[in-house]
Amino acid sequence: MIELSNGLLTIKVAEKGAELQSVRDNEGREYMWQAGPEWPRHSPILFPLVCSVNDNTYRVDGKEYHLPRHGFARDSEFTLISQTQDKVTFALHDNEETLKVYPYHFNLAITYRLEDNKVHVIWHVENTDDREIHFQIGGHPAFNMPGGKLEGMIKLDNEEPMEALKSYADGSHDMVEVPLEADMGIMEISNNFFRNDSVKIHKSQTRRAMLMDTNGEPAVTVDYKTPVCAFWSPYDKQAPFVCIEPWYGIGDPRDFRGEFKDKPLMNHLLPGASFMSKYTITIK
């Protein structure tokens, strides 16, 4: 476990999965979900899939490969590349095991950087193959509800009526829009809000989500530039956390049976090209 501190925040990151597992302020308050029976993770890296492919199977040039939900990065051992007082970088390269389930050569680097009361989470994907590669990437950070119960609000930066993708209790979805359950950009968080698994807002309708208590006091803000942001807590478990998930990608629609490269919201890199983006967690 790698620990960074700047006097305002202290974070801990595990080499397995390059997973951010703790964010504490200078008074010792913990803002990240500390795993548990309701959900055993903290903030997994989603790569090279976001969500699922149908039947855990996808096709590249007609050949079938199999990947579990959210891909393999979250369960992979990353290598510590560099560490300073306020920044740490981990890397994962293709290897014999990844090539069995994802037939591309790549470098994936994850960087965490502290800046005052902010944690910048930076993704860098490099194509080291001799052909175009295709991938999705996303974050899945779980934040403790400020009141200790699954009660509160999320305020988005868009007060206009928005649409979400039609989702189902099994976690699947269609590329069909339904009205987002929000009033002036405010979503009331409760168990019922997650009755159809995650709430997926696409088409870059929002770039900021603020987690607040029942009185409207902010606890955590997440800024992102991703085309999708999803919100999730395990339905009927009353787990006192909410995931705010910036995604460059999305799972297979229920009726999709095409090639991996043709999935909705797929990212493409030519040989030697690279992709970089980030999201930022601000504490209060």
Q: What is the pLDDT of residue 19?
A: 98
Q: Are residues 149 and 120 in contact, defined by beta-carbon separation less than 8 angstroms?
A: no
Give the sign of the dihedral formed by CA 216, CA 161, CA 159, CA 195.
positive
Provide the residue ranges of all domains of the chain, joining segments of one domain with +.
Answer: 2-283
Q: Are 87 and 113 in contact (CB under 8 A)?
A: yes
User: Which pair of structure tokens corresponds to residue 2?
Assistant: 């790698």
Quick: pLDDT tens for 30-71: 999 999 999 999 999 999 999 999 999 999 999 999 999 999
Whether pTM > 0.95 for this model: the answer is yes
End-to-end CA distance of the chain: 25
Which residue's structure tokens are 């996303």? Answer: 138
pLDDT in the model for residue 141: 98
Q: What is the pLDDT of residues 84-111, one digit of tens each?
A: 999 999 999 999 999 999 999 999 999 9
Mapped onto helix, strand or coil, the DSSP state of residue 39 is coil
pLDDT band at 204 (very low <50, low <70, confident <90, very high): very high
CA 14, distance to chain mean position in Å, is: 16
Average pLDDT over residues 221-235: 98
Condensed to tens digits (0 to 9), the pLDDT of residues 149-184 reads: 999 999 999 999 999 999 999 999 999 999 999 999
- Total residue length of the chain: 284
Q: What one-letter code names the amino acid at 137?
A: I
For the domain spanning 2-283, the CATH number is 2.70.98.10
| pLDDT, the chain, mean | 97
Please answer whether residues 11 and 117 qualify as being in contact, where contact means their C-beta atoms are separated by less than 8 angstroms. no
- What are φ and ψ of residue 59, in 5° steps? -125, 135
Would you say 235 and 194 are in contact if contact means Cβ atoms under 8 Å apart?
Answer: yes
* Confidence (pLDDT) at 116: 98
In this structure, are residues 16 and 76 in contact, taking their beta carbons and an 8 Å threshold?
yes
* Single-letter amino acid, residue 196: N
What's the confidence (pLDDT) of residue 51?
95
Element (H, E) at 272: none
The reported pLDDT for the residue numbered 106 is 98
How would residue 27 be classed by pLDDT, with cut points 50, 70 and 90?
very high
In the prediction, which pLDDT does 161 show? 97
Extract the tokens encoding 62: 């007609």
Q: Which two tokens stand for residue 103?
A: 């037939």
